[in-house]
Each structure stands twice: as C-alpha cells, then as structure tokens.
C-alpha cells in the first residue's frame, strides 16, 4: 500500500507566474485535502476535493484552485504568485470527507519558493 505522493518536492517560481502542484492519494482513499504551511507555522486548510468537486474551502483567494481526477489524484493551481505564497504545500488523503483517525494521511509536501 503506497502512501500519499506529492510532486515536485521543491519548486522555485517568479512572482506573477502560475504553478501546479500534484498529489496522488493513498490507495483506497477517495478524498484529497490541501493545506498551506508557512515557515514556522501550522498548516492552514485551503480546500478539499471529493467526487471531483470542491467540498469545503478555507480562507484563500480564488487564485488558489484545484482539480480532482477520476483516479482520485489531485492538483493545486495557484495563479499570479505572490511572495507570501512561499510555503510548504501539503496534501492529505482520506476515505470519506472526515478528518478523524489514522486514515487521514499527509504527504511530505511540495516546498514552493516565490522570488
């Protein structure tokens, strides 16, 4: 059973550019949630995807968008990058939309640096 896989592991982008981050969910999981973790801070919920639709969103602007594919993998897209978007982006997969228990599994993240 594979865990949650995120790619790329590191990325450097220029302010104003667009970026796409990818997440492959753990085998058997049908829900993907994305979090942003700024340096020295706790993760903040961006949004969740379930059945290929957005199923809850945190306090992030519309330039943060996502997709979920039929195989339950997901993408996070960020347009018009700002310096404050520099962070570790974490993907968590689960079976169902809840956050409870060991079934809510995080990947190792993508470190995005905006210069």
Partner 1 sequence: QQQVKQSPQSLIVQKGGISIINCAYENTAFDYFPWYQQFPGKGPALLIAIRPDVSEKKEGRFTISFNKSAKQFSLHIMDSQPGDSATYFCAASLSGSARQLTFGSGTQLTVLP
* Footprint of partner 1 (CB under 8 A): 4, 33, 35, 40-45, 48, 55-56, 58, 90, 92, 97-102, 104, 106-109
Q: How far apart are CA 113 and CA 86, in angstroms?
A: 5
State the nearest-atom distance from the C-beta of 107 to partner 1, in Å. Answer: 5
State the nearest-atom distance from the C-beta of 16 to partner 1, in Å. Answer: 28
For residue 10, CA distances in Å to 85, 95, 98, 100, 109 come to: 14, 27, 29, 29, 9
The residue among 27 and 41 lying less far from partner 1, judged by its C-beta, is: 41
State the nearest-atom distance from the C-beta of 36 to partner 1, in Å. Answer: 11
The residue among 12 and 80 lying less far from partner 1, judged by its C-beta, is: 12
List of residues 6+ apart from 107 with CB closer than 8 A: 3, 4, 5, 6, 23, 90, 91, 92, 93
The residue among 23 and 78 lying less far from partner 1, judged by its C-beta, is: 23
State the nearest-atom distance from the C-beta of 2 to partner 1, in Å. Answer: 14
- DSSP-assigned letters across all residues of 64-88: EEEEE-TTS-EEEEE-S--GGG-EE
The residue among 50 and 69 lying less far from partner 1, judged by its C-beta, is: 50
């Amino acid at each position: 059973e594979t865990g949650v896989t995120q790619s790329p592991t590191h990325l450097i982008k220029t302010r104003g550019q667009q970026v796409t981050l990818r997440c492959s969910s753990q085998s058997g999981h049908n829900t993907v949630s994305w979090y942003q973790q700024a340096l020295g801070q706790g993760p903040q919920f961006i949004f969740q995807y379930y059945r290929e639709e957005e199923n809850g969103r945190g306090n992030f602007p519309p330039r943060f968008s996502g997709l979920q594919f039929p195989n339950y993998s997901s993408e996070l897209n960020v347009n018009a990058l700002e310096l404050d978007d520099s962070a570790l982006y974490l993907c968590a997969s689960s079976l169902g939309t809840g956050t409870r228990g060991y079934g809510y599994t995080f990947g190792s993240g993508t470190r995005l640096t905006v210069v």
